[in-house]
Amino acid sequence: MAERGKYIVIEGHDGTGKSTQVEMLHKRLSKEGVEAVEIHEPAGVAIADELRKIIKNGELDRDGETNLLLFTAARRELFRQVIAPTLGRGAWVLAARNWRSTAAYQGYGEGLDIDEIETITRQYTDEAYLNPDFECFLSLQSKQERTKRIAKRGELENPDTFESRDDDFQAKVENGYLDIAEKDGLLVIDASPSPEEIHEEIWKQIQEIK
Count the neighbouring beta carbons within 10 Å of the beta carbon of residue 115.
10
Region of residue 12 (left: phi > 0; alpha: psi -120 to 50; beta: else) = left
pLDDT of residue 206: 96
How far apart are the C-alpha atoms of 86 and 96, rounded to whole Å?
Answer: 16
Task: Measure Cα distances from 147 to 50, 144, 156 in Å.
Answer: 26, 5, 8
> How many Cβ atoms are within 10 Å of 35's Cβ, its own excluded?
12
Domains along the chain with CATH numbers: 7-206 (3.40.50.300)
User: What pLDDT shows up at residue 156?
Assistant: 45
pLDDT value, residue 57: 87
Task: Give the closest residue to 138 by CA, choosing from 8, 9, 10, 7.
Answer: 10
Residue-level pLDDT at 190: 95
Residue ranges of the chain whose pLDDT lies below 50 = 156-158
pTM of the model: 0.92
pLDDT of residue 96: 98
Question: In angstroms, rounded to a whole number, what is the distance separating the alpha carbons of residues 161 and 96?
Answer: 18
Q: What are phi and psi of 89, to 5 degrees?
A: -90, 5
